[in-house]
Chain A
Amino acid sequence: MSATSIETTVETMPAKKEFWRWQENVWVDESKDWKSAKLITCGIDVGSVSSQAVLVVDGELYGFNSMRTGNNSPDSATNALQGVMDKCGMQLSDIHYVVGTGYGRVNVPFAHKAITEIACHARGANYMGGNSVRTILDMGGQDCKAIHCDEKGKVTNFLMNDKCAAGTGRGMEVISDLMQIPIAELGPRSFDIDAEPDAVSSVCVVFAKSEALGLLKAGYTKNKVIAAYCQAMAERVVSLLERIGVEEGFFITGGIAKNPGVVKRIEKLLGIKAMETKVDSQIAGALGAALFGYTLMQKQGAKAA
């Protein structure tokens, strides 16, 4: 086959549908005017799968952008911030302080400080859910964190599992692609079953994938396989939560918080209902970072470089 015919073949191939692709969001609070603000701080959370930029104006959430992380952290941070600044006509010079968080936090080119995502998620959850939040579960793209905090959002106990992708967003993306079902539909469809199946037995995403295929071959419907995977994911993260001790005031952050198939099963296992919020659960880390920046500006009079 000649090079030209290969090119022609590639061009005529239908684009592969990306079932795992989740909704990116940009939002700005139109009721506020940032130009009259005294302090504008920004939090940038560069995660392994998604990046968020959050703007906090005088200590209140003003706007955010949540998008997929690109192939390098500095560009992802820049693009996330640019997205929300374009939406409200702001420029980087208008922002007084920037805090970076997430696994790419040290690679945010315009950040004045880097703070771990553990502390930022606790702070963000405290803002989103109020000062009764005590137990936080962050189900990130490629890791999972269980956090306990006090009434001020200060971390009192935490653990993070970033060695294994079981119980993470990436695991759900893999199952979404395997089942060829859009990721947003996985949760609702996991309840469209006759009887709740046993969880897939493997805790490894790679083996869970092959186990899911085995279940399909054994006659399971797609919905039943999804239910089995959601249950496995729930069991996995609950075991992490139990290690730090679960207390009322349970809050879930990260993308998986949008998947009722996992959330409802976690609630059932714990016997506690997760707190609800109107704010996008994925921005908790960046929001916490921006709030840390606000506090630093207030307490120390930190000045932008």
Chain B
Amino acid sequence: MIANYGYKDGSGEYYISIDTDKCIDCAAGRACLEACPKQMFEVITDDYDDEVVWVKKPNCRTLAYDCSACKPTAGYASLPCTLACTPGAIKHSW
């Protein structure tokens, strides 16, 4: 399942997509949890009883601001979360 967390508003589209099929048996030891400087990720049991990572609810509405410190304009060549997620489950839409 592809779970898209985020929003679209007048300023643009801001979604973090998590491919739960790649996330269930995480080969990276849930490295994303520590990699995110804002600690936005959290392990939950989803509706189909799988343990997966999601973006915490409060962050879903403020992604544009929360993630700005990790974007290229802040000096990052790649996002810490996507870099830590070696199975490639995490993607940003912007």
Contact check: which of A116, A119, A161 meets B8 at CB < 8 Å? A161
Query: Contacts A116-B47, A118-B47, A163-B61 known; A157 to B9 CB distance under 8 Å?
Result: no
Expressed in whole angstroms, the Cα–Cα distance for A116 and B57 within the complex equals: 13
Q: Is A92 an interface residue (CB 8 A)?
A: no
A164 engages B15 (CB within 8 Å): no
B4 engages A164 (CB within 8 Å): no
Q: Which of A156, A159, A244 has the most CB of B within 10 A?
A: A159
Closest to A149 in B: B1
- Closest beta carbon of chain B to A244's beta carbon, Å: 7
A157 engages B8 (CB within 8 Å): no
Chain A interface category by residue count:
20 to 34
Q: Is A221 an interface residue (CB 8 A)?
A: no
Expressed in whole angstroms, the Cα–Cα distance for A115 and B9 within the complex equals: 27
Interface residues of chain B: helix, strand, loop or mixed (majority) = strand
Closest to B47 in A: A119
Q: Is A204 an interface residue (CB 8 A)?
A: yes
B2 engages A164 (CB within 8 Å): no
- Closest beta carbon of chain A to B67's beta carbon, Å: 15
Closest to B62 in A: A163
A119 engages B48 (CB within 8 Å): yes
Query: Contacts A115-B47, A243-B13 known; A158 to B7 CB distance under 8 Å?
Result: no
Mask: chain A, 159-182; 1 = CB below 8 Å from B; 0 = not: 111111000000000000000000
Nearest 5 A-B pairs (CB), nearest first? A159-B4, A119-B47, A163-B7, A157-B2, A163-B61
